[in-house]
Structure 1
Amino acid sequence: MQCEPIGTVSTPFETTSDAPSQGFHEDSAGVVHVDEAYAAGLSGFDAESVVVVWWADRADRSVLTLDRDPSRGVFTSRSPARPNPVCLTECRVVDVDLDARRLSVRGVDMADGSPVIDLKASLRERVD
């Protein structure tokens, strides 16, 4: 399996532990920067919200149970600490700058500089 980041995200959080546990509960601002090679993927982007698929590159990949409740496994949570730290965060879109290849969003819960794997329009808005 291969997966290449399409960009990165800028947030006010230095680490995942600094970030809120659920971005949609907060109003924290961030910017998704899309690499030039993937700029065409933003064509026609008009969603009010977007699911940011990101990689928690600094997460502990050896964790299998929750620190706060060792009777629960990580697969029962949204914790970024897990064997394959693929994370999903639904964010509200504040602004789209196609020329600069960036989306300004609110509701981020990822560490600054985290790799973005994909962007998906919210299921509430459209299913294509």
Structure 2
Amino acid sequence: MTTYKVNTIGRICNNESGAIIQLEPEYIPALTALDGFSHLNVLWWFSDFDTQEARSVLEAPKPYKQAPETMGIFATRSPVRPNPIALTTVEIIDIDYVNGRIHIAYIDANDGSPLLDLKPYTPSLDRVERPEVPGWCGHWPKSLEESADFAWENEFNF
């Protein structure tokens, strides 16, 4: 097994005050020219699930109400996985280039989650016009915007 080194570039602050991406000071110059992008792809670490036990889970019993009885972990968005890496597309509200803070609309990360990388969302590379999904999740929203008003609590078995 090959091991790779990943550097944390900041933290996600997600609490009653809102959602903020806070960069470590040495990475603030990497924000240059981010102006004009409305969304970011945020790669972060599911640090609350980084255990040997969680990393060994390869199948999950029916995490979604309409899903198959057993699913491979790669067919889920579960934080329990061999490498607890998360990917979330977020809307940028404001960027503080001096202090290295990006105010975002929402993120499904816990407060204090380690930040691994940021990539601008670009439709030519990140958007799929007609994606296909299994029937059990075909009724889910077709966009991030529609997801905000969707009753997600009715979809999960946890």
Shared fold by TM > 0.5?
Answer: yes
Partner in structure 2 of residue 6 of structure 1: 9
Give 5+ residue unaligned stretches, structure 1. Answer: 14-28
One-letter amino acid matched to 1:45: L
Which one has a larger percent helix, Structure 1 or Structure 2?
2
CA RMSD in angstroms comes to 2.2
Structure 1's consecutive aligned runs of 4 or more residues displaced over 4 angstroms after TM superposition are none
Partner in structure 2 of residue 95 of structure 1: 94
One-letter amino acid matched to 1:84: N
Q: Following TM superposition, by how much is the alpha carbon of 1:68 offset from its aligned partner in structure 2, in angstroms?
A: 2.9
TM score, norm. by length of structure 2: 0.65
List aligned pairs for 1:43-58, cutoff 5 A. Answer: 43-46=32-35, 47-58=37-48
Give 5+ residue unaligned stretches, structure 2. Answer: 64-68, 127-158
Aligned-partner SS, 1:38 = helix
List aligned pairs for 1:1-128, cutoff 5 A. Answer: 1-12=4-15, 29-46=18-35, 47-59=37-49, 60-69=54-63, 71-124=70-123
One-letter amino acid matched to 1:101: G
Q: Following TM superposition, by how much is the alpha carbon of 1:67 offset from its aligned partner in structure 2, in angstroms?
A: 3.7
Equivalent residue pairs, number: 113
Q: How far apart are the structure 2 equivalents of 1:108 and 1:86? A: 14
Instruction: Confirm or deny: 8 A CA contact 1:7 1:33 kept in the other structure.
Output: yes
Identity percentage of aligned residues: 30
TM score, norm. by length of structure 1: 0.79
- Which structure's CA Rg is the greater one? 2
Higher relative contact order (CA 8 A, sep 6+): 1
